[in-house]
Structure 1
Amino acid sequence: MPIATVNPATGETLRTYDALGEEEIERRLAAADTAFRTHRTTTFAERALRMHKAADLLDAECQDIARVMTTEMGKPITQARAEAAKCAKAMRWYADHAEELLADEEPDARDVKDSGASWVIVRYRPLGPVLAVMPWNFPLWQVVRFAAPALMAGNVGLLKHASNVPGTALFLEDLFRRAGFAEGCFQTLLIGSGAVERVLRDPRVRAATLTGSEPAGRSVASIAGDEIKKTVLELGGSDPYIVMPSAELDRAAETAVTARVQNNGQSCIAAKRFIVHTDVFDAFAERFTAGMKALRVGDPMAEETEVGPLSSERGRADLAELVDDAVGAGATVLCGGTRPDGPGWYYPPTVLTGITPRMRIHHEEAFGPVATLYRAADLDEAVAIANDSPFGLGSDVWTHNGTEVDRFVQDLEAGGVFINGMTASHPAFPFGGVKRSGYGRELSGHGIREFCNITTVWHGA
């Protein structure tokens, strides 16, 4: 895949970039290694000052980078600005909390005495250069939620971004440089996927994090495993959105529309499978379908647009294949379902019902504005449908029954359970999944410690 900015609203290639050659890759790896030796010795206060500066710069340039993101991958401009603002918030959160999150820990005095020590502490030390392989769907946020904690912990970052968002990737490198982080602390590697193995196997690279597809996750995990290097993986998701009889139906249906089409439906944590109790199924389906039909689809640069194009022609074709397969196997289309004519890689908001396990969309992730509706006879069936997926990232539950809440929290196979609201990420809360959605956690204290050497310091009596 070429490294290029291609406008998904028109299909026009706006700019292409040359991939880094072997000599330049080596220079950047050496720069990362050198930068780490200095950066790891800086104080939390010094790092925080620079991280706050990065956040201030991002706020000041919010409109400019939002236009770059929208041009490169098609998200509505209003959502692009919101993404930039969220990134600045996360930068400030880690700048303000990193020192306390990584403070030395003292084990229980009884255990210290039992070990024969006069004192023991547990210290969090940075690992070194970390390779981040990142996707295009949240081209700023996916990177910042790695970069902010990594840099605050004393690590340095090497970014291999998706090949269709090079402008965003280069902006990030420049942003951290202008914020005062030393040369080599955060570098963008304009390389194709074929060069990732060479970088990951380099002994100067100590760990890797990847957000992306299952195949990409398997590849990076396999290489890192062979090299015995730590990895964090955030892969696909096919999140359930469960509606029970006690739910506030109007609010549940309205939120469901947003939960499905955020980022043009191209989000791992977007709700995709809507599992509705039979007592309220018809009423919910009517409200939800009406909301999906009413969405404004159009130019992502227009302020009023709610759904823009998919990021690529291949992505739209893959989504259409899932819908066509389901319809061919007996699914009913409540709205959408037909690829429009004209320029750009648009696909209409679509609702399908009558889904069965023999349809591909029952097991595969629909990465675009396509929702599947399931009727559940009771709580047990709702849980069974929700867990009948290879993924386990997020989940949403709408109920005011405390017993049902306890059951869903206990039994749903997911990294997050959101009650009466839609799944979202926040810097203070851990984020990640189970099953084929990956392993490890980003954000919160759990995220900043993923790439730390957790060191026991034991001092004899």
Structure 2
Amino acid sequence: MNAPAYRSVNPTTGELLDEYPHITAEDLSAALAAADEAFGSWAARPIEERAEVARRVSEVLRERGDELAAQVTREMGKPAPEAAGEAELAADIFAYYAEHGPEFAAEQVLSDTDKERTVLQHLPVGPLLGIMPWNYPLYQVARFVAPNLVLGNTILLKHAESTPGCALAIEAALREAGVPEGVYRNIFAGHEQVSEIIADPRIQGVSLTGSERAGAAVAEQAGRHLKKAVLELGGSDPWILLSSDDIEKDAAKAVGVRLENAGQACNSNKRIIVSADIYDRFVDAVIARVAALSPGDPADGEEDTYGPLSSRKAADTIEEQLTRAVSAGAQLRIGGERLVEGAFGDGFYVSPAVLTDVPRGSDIYYEEFFGPVITIFRVESDEEALELANDTQYGLGSTVYATEPGRAEAVGAKLRAGMTGVNGAAPESEDMPFGGVKRSGYGRELGPVGMDEFVNKRLYSVRKA
């Protein structure tokens, strides 16, 4: 159990930066006890005091923004401008719940007569387990931790095995901001230890952002032990273009969204669906846009470059999926090449790929490409676009564009997803709920409802003397 398990590797160079063993059984037992003990005093504090701590966390994150962003780039290959934006958004999330948390948790009066007053209270439930991913190692933690910290829950945080440096940096920022011992604790736990934590009667809920397989395993364990779970899993989001008055602009937009974070975003536009009358021109414009990209160092943040995937395994998976797609009959129009020579030959680079003609009904059609693969489908009608968009096991995000009044709205209203944008992406910010349906998971984070998951909605009635 003490062998190195959490490994920090620079995906740009393939260099091993650091490694850490799993937490020992003794330390894990102590962490569980500390979270349970701290809950009593933390929940007893006025919510305004907890909100003030969250405000200080926001300030520390801003002060450490450059340092945190550099760690994200170094450890998982995110381009520097995107990493800086992620650090800023994490700070915004803590600031948002610091300002609005007391309002969101305020009691709701249901009845108030001369004989009785009845209210609905929003109370913390106890220690929670958060299982966080590597692709947005600051943002994902913030959106789980901030509302629960203000609400009064305590947290054990199990971060991804490939981003231990980010995990430690976040914990250090919370300590500097005054989060008490036991209220937040990073743990380098293994899979068996995660199961042990979920089963522990002191833990009252678990939140996971990650793969569909991981979500199913955690949901099964949580259900067995009667624990609430919130799951944000995979996605295969449709991005529908029904008509256009500027093909080049729309192609650039589609490529920019798809290649953000090297295509490693749950709600990325993984299936681009285009009307037949503009399909050929759109595909040509996308290919031209991709052809103009060259490999670069994400720390430089230069335009018209692409960075590495987060790990060797991620790059291997994309290569394997592309091979199977072509074998199934898809057309690889450009890209999909592994860099094995040159300045980045030891890194985890795969050139952005454009796929067309992926056969519906094939195994690869239903899979999520978690990397720089742009898949484009041709449709003959709005009805076919809608049917294709909904033909997925996932239901996270979705977007539809059209130039004619009401056309995009008619399709958007029938998309089966947790988030839909019409003639523009659904907003992503600290005040907007995030989550999906179907096999993309359940529960919501961020916005007012982000504080409404791990909460005891207690009915409290007092008869007046």
Please give the TM-score of this superposition, normalised by the length of structure 1: 0.95
> How far apart are residue 84 of structure 1 and its match?
0.2
CA offsets 1:148-204 (integer angstroms, 9 cap, x no match): 111011111110111110111111111111101111111100112221000111111
Q: Which residue of 1 aligns with 2:338?
A: 339
1:399 is aligned, of 394, 397, 402, to 402
1:88 to 2:91 alignment = yes
Q: Which residue of 1 aligns with 2:166?
A: 168
Q: Which residue of 2 aligns with 1:329?
A: 328
Determine if contact 1:269/1:423 at 8 Å carries over to the other structure.
no
Task: State how far apart, in whole Å, the 1-side matches of 2:229 and 2:142 are.
Answer: 17
> How far apart are residue 227 of structure 1 and its match?
0.7
Task: State how far apart, in whole Å, the 1-side matches of 2:461 and 2:60 are.
Answer: 43
1:352 to 2:351 alignment = no
1:106 to 2:109 alignment = yes
1:76 to 2:79 alignment = yes
1:290 to 2:284 alignment = no
1:123 to 2:121 alignment = yes
Q: Which residue of 1 aligns with 2:425?
A: 422
Task: State how far apart, in whole Å, the 2-side matches of 1:122 and 1:405 are.
Answer: 40
Task: State how far apart, in whole Å, the 1-side matches of 2:116 and 2:411 are.
Answer: 46
Task: State how far apart, in whole Å, the 1-side matches of 2:178 and 2:221 are.
Answer: 33
> CA, structure 1 residues 317+424, in 2 after alignment: closer, same or farther (shift >3 Å)?
farther
Q: Which moved more, 1:394-403 or 1:87-96?
A: 394-403
> CA, structure 1 residues 160+197, in 2 after alignment: closer, same or farther (shift >3 Å)?
same
CA offsets 1:247-294 (integer angstroms, 9 cap, x no match): 653432221111101111001011110000112112221222222222
> CA, structure 1 residues 84+399, in 2 after alignment: closer, same or farther (shift >3 Å)?
same
Determine if contact 1:255/1:421 at 8 Å carries over to the other structure.
no
1:151 to 2:154 alignment = no
1:377 to 2:380 alignment = yes
> How far apart are residue 424 of structure 1 and its match?
5.1
Letter of the structure 2 residue corresponding to residue 140 of structure 1: L
2:201 is aligned, of 189, 200, 203, to 203
> How far apart are residue 117 of structure 1 and its match?
6.7
> CA, structure 1 residues 296+88, in 2 after alignment: closer, same or farther (shift >3 Å)?
farther
Task: State how far apart, in whole Å, the 2-side matches of 1:20 and 1:4 are.
Answer: 14
Letter of the structure 2 residue corresponding to residue 196 of structure 1: V
Q: Which residue of 1 aligns with 2:22?
A: 19
1:97 to 2:96 alignment = no
Q: Secondary structure at the match of 2:298?
A: coil
Task: State how far apart, in whole Å, the 2-side matches of 1:94 and 1:251 are.
Answer: 37
Task: State how far apart, in whole Å, the 1-side matches of 2:98 and 2:306 are.
Answer: 34
1:452 to 2:450 alignment = no
Task: State how far apart, in whole Å, the 2-side matches of 1:422 and 1:308 are.
Answer: 24
Task: State how far apart, in whole Å, the 2-side matches of 1:228 and 1:195 are.
Answer: 18
Task: State how far apart, in whole Å, the 2-side matches of 1:284 and 1:422 are.
Answer: 19
CA offsets 1:12-48 (integer angstroms, 9 cap, x no match): 2111112111100011111111111111112232122
Task: State how far apart, in whole Å, the 1-side matches of 2:217 and 2:197 are.
Answer: 13
Q: Secondary structure at the match of 1:2?
A: strand
CA offsets 1:31-89 (integer angstroms, 9 cap, x no match): 11111111111223212222121111111111111121111111112211110011111
Q: Secondary structure at the match of 2:44?
A: coil
Q: Which moved more, 1:150-159 or 1:301-310?
A: 301-310
1:255 is aligned, of 253, 261, 265, to 253
Q: Secondary structure at the match of 1:345?
A: coil
> How far apart are residue 334 of structure 1 and its match?
2.1
> How far apart are residue 432 of structure 1 and its match?
0.4
> How far apart are residue 396 of structure 1 and its match?
1.1
Equivalent pairs counted in the alignment come to 456
Letter of the structure 2 residue corresponding to residue 335 of structure 1: I
Q: Which moved more, 1:301-310 or 1:253-262?
A: 301-310
Task: State how far apart, in whole Å, the 1-side matches of 2:246 and 2:454 are.
Answer: 42
> CA, structure 1 residues 289+421, in 2 after alignment: closer, same or farther (shift >3 Å)?
farther
Task: State how far apart, in whole Å, the 1-side matches of 2:391 and 2:312 are.
Answer: 29
Determine if contact 2:130/2:155 at 8 Å carries over to the other structure.
yes
Q: Which residue of 1 aligns with 2:319?
A: 320
Q: Secondary structure at the match of 1:241?
A: strand
Letter of the structure 2 residue corresponding to residue 451 of structure 1: F
Q: Secondary structure at the match of 1:303?
A: coil
> How far apart are residue 376 of structure 1 and its match?
0.9
Q: CA RMSD in A?
A: 1.7
> How far apart are residue 423 of structure 1 and its match?
4.7
Task: State how far apart, in whole Å, the 2-side matches of 1:179 and 1:424 are.
Answer: 29
1:224-263 map, 5 Å: 224-246=222-244, 248-263=246-261
Q: Secondary structure at the match of 1:36?
A: helix
Task: State how far apart, in whole Å, the 2-side matches of 1:86 and 1:321 are.
Answer: 34
Determine if contact 2:255/2:374 at 8 Å carries over to the other structure.
no
Task: State how far apart, in whole Å, the 1-side matches of 2:221 and 2:115 are.
Answer: 40
CA offsets 1:368-393 (integer angstroms, 9 cap, x no match): 01011100111110011111111110
Q: Secondary structure at the match of 2:419?
A: coil
Counting aligned pairs with the same residue, the percent is 40
Task: State how far apart, in whole Å, the 2-side matches of 1:35 and 1:408 are.
Answer: 50
Q: Which moved more, 1:324-333 or 1:265-274?
A: 324-333
Q: Which residue of 2 aligns with 1:44?
A: 47
Determine if contact 1:126/1:452 at 8 Å carries over to the other structure.
yes
Q: Secondary structure at the match of 1:395?
A: strand
